[in-house]
Amino acid sequence: MQSPILQVALDVTELTRAQKIAEEALAGGADWIEIGTPLVKSEGMQAVRALRAQFPTTTLVADLKTADTGGMEVEMAAKAGANIVCVLANTDNAVIIDALRGASLYGVQIMADMMNVEDVVTRAKELADLGVQIINAHVGIDQQMEGKDPLDILDKLGDLPLEIAVAGGLNAETASKAAARGADIVIVGGSIIKAADVTKAARNVRDAIDHPAEGTTVKTSLDDTIRELLEQVSAPNVTDALYRKGAMSGLTVQYVPKKMIGKAVTVQTFGGDWSKPVQAIDECIPGDVLVISNDKRTDIAPWGELATRSAENKGVAGIIIDGAVRDWDDIVTLETPVYATGIQPNAGEPKGFGEINADISCCGQTVRPGDWLIGDQSGVVVIPRERAYEVARRAVEVQKTEVRIREEIRRGGTLGSLSQLLRWEKK
Ligand SMILES: O=C(CO)[C@H](O)[C@H](O)COP(=O)(O)O
């Protein structure tokens, strides 16, 4: 079986960074270079021209995701130096036909991106009949964050006698599976271009697709998957993934012996009444986070060392109190993260006011039972339970992007120059 082509997608917004990444990816065994949609939107056809000048003989793919003016867009990309132009498969046939006219006039090929196509087999056959040369079984980046898998599309297209590309969050392991399932072109973006060592990451994928293997898939529960993803990231990564939302404020008292990740068990109590907070410990399962609203009272504590010890016995991942905590000298000898807005020696009476597992307001955020929390030395971020998987996936992408930027800073760049900060100021 012939090895698939490895196409590396330059999904960055700065041309100078893209050029360096392309050079490193080719050194690691990439065959084709894709001018990714973010790059072409940020830099225009100049990105294609610059990469053509830099790599005169490399196959360049312009991922325009054309949805209209097929011929015109293909002409622009072809004249700038592209060999293959990507159009959206679910656009009207009029666009595809015009793109194909342009392609034949300027000697380039058309790759049709199957994102959002319902019946992929029927559409792929139609496109092939129209003359499209390459079908891309693609799951877009936002779709990946919701758990969609390009290998499912590939499986449906696998038997068709067409040139098939596959893309969408592939890494060495999944790229190898794609090769084993017959992909002709394996397209990889993030897991190569966000690596500190792009050459090594490209080489890993190259080796993986040169030796295709199905491997074994271990099925894990959704909660375990979310937890595994959040283990890889920081609280700042998560708030970035939430477009700078979700951070709790005022948690100036922090004991963080380890990162805190877990689902909320919420408690509303009043004026230091420690009855509901202590009862809530018994409602927790290992890995939960206790989130307590003391009605913003920092003059009286509903939580202390004995409660923390009890929570630790139950495997609670951490405690957050919008209010005061006491016994701090002892709490800091334990192993459970505790966040609070104040320290105060006096507790209230255990009268039983309040509620367990109601929606509460805590440190500027609404917290509902089952929402996810991540806490580290930077603070605590709340993740709405219905978006937990998606946000965790996005946070991992934020974290991966930082890996590469960190490496570029290590090589002597500055954050401002690398990201061309001034260019992004709102005009
Ligand atoms: O076309 C794209 C996004 O629309 C990407 O280039 C493609 O999905 C490959 O990148 P990644 O491996 O990061 O998903």
Question: Quick one: DSSP state of residue 3?
Answer: P
172 lines ligand 1 (CB under 6 A): no
pLDDT at res. 359: 97
* Structural tokens at position 214: 């199905």
Give CA torsion, residues 383, 388, 390, 391, to 10 deg: 20
168 lines ligand 1 (CB under 6 A): yes
Going from the Cα of 168 to the center of ligand 1, the distance in angstroms, rounded, reads: 5
Per-residue pLDDT of the chain (427 residues; tens, 9 = 90+): 689 999 999 999 999 999 999 999 999 999 999 999 999 999 999 999 999 999 999 999 999 999 999 999 999 999 999 999 999 999 999 999 999 999 999 999 999 999 999 999 999 999 999 999 999 999 999 999 999 999 999 999 977 888 999 999 999 999 999 999 999 999 999 999 999 999 999 999 999 999 988 876 677 899 999 999 999 999 999 999 999 999 999 999 999 999 999 999 999 999 999 999 999 999 999 999 999 999 999 999 999 999 999 999 999 999 999 999 999 999 999 999 999 999 999 999 999 999 999 999 999 999 999 999 999 999 999 999 999 999 999 999 999 999 999 999 999 999 999 988 888 888 8
51 vs 26: CA distance, rounded Å: 12
Q: How far is the CA of 18 from the centre of ligand 1 (A)?
A: 14
For residue 297, what pLDDT is reported? 96
Instruction: Single out the residue of 272, 297, 264 nearest to residue 365, CA to CA.
Output: 264
Q: Tell me the pairing of strands 32-35 and 59-66.
A: parallel
| Alpha carbon nearest to ligand 1 atom 8, residue | 168
Distance 170 CA to ligand 1 centre (A): 9
Question: Which ligand 1 atom is the nearest neighbour of the CA of 86?
Answer: 1
pTM value is 0.89
Q: What is the ipTM of this complex?
A: 0.98
Class of domain 5-210: alpha beta
Here the tokens at position 67 are 């949805």
Ligand 1 pocket mutation pick from 37, 141, 143 by most atoms within 8 angstroms of CB: 141
- Which residues make Cβ contacts (< 8 Å) with residue 216, sequence separation at least 6? none
**83 and 110 Cβ atoms separated by less than 8 Å:** no
- Amino acid letter for position 299: D
pLDDT value, residue 423? 83
167 CB near ligand 1 (under 6 Å): yes
DSSP for 10-50, written as a single string: E--S-HHHHHHHHHHHHHTT--EEEE-HHHHHHHTTHHHHH
Cα 329 to averaged position of ligand 1 atoms, centre (Å): 50
| The pLDDT value given to residue 1 | 65
Taking CA atoms only, the protein residue closest to ligand 1 atom 2 is 140
Helix then strand then coil, in percent of the chain rounded to 5, is 40, 20, 35
Ligand 1 proximity of 189 Cβ (cutoff 6 Å): yes
Amino acid type, 359 = D
CATH fold of the domain at 226-389 = Glucose Oxidase; domain 1 (3.50.30)
CB under 8 Å to 178, separation ≥6 — which residues? 4, 150, 151, 154, 166, 170, 186, 209
Q: Give me the residues paired with residue 167 across strands.
A: 138, 187
Joined tokens for residue 131: 């003359």
**Whole-angstrom distance, CA of residue 334 vs CA of residue 341:** 19
User: Where in the chain are the domains?
Assistant: 5-210, 226-389
- Which of 88, 115, 138, 143 to mutate for ligand 1's pocket (most ligand atoms within 8 Å of CB)? 138
Q: Which atom of ligand 1 is nearest to the CA of 192?
A: 12
Closest CA to 336 of 306, 356, 364, 365: 306
170 ligand 1 Cβ < 6 A: yes
Cα separation of the two ends of the chain: 53
Q: Specify the pLDDT at position 160.
A: 83
Q: Determine the angle formed by the axes of helices 70-80 and 93-106, rounding to 10 degrees.
A: 30
For ligand 1, say whether the CB of 115 is within 6 Å of any of its atoms. no
Mutate to test the pocket of ligand 1, among 8, 10, 11 (most ligand atoms within 8 A of CB): 11
Q: How high is the pLDDT of residue 426?
A: 82
Q: How far is CA 376 from CA 25, 318, 356, in A?
A: 34, 11, 25
Minimal-distance CA residue to ligand 1 atom 6? 9
Consecutive H or E run containing 279: helix 275-281
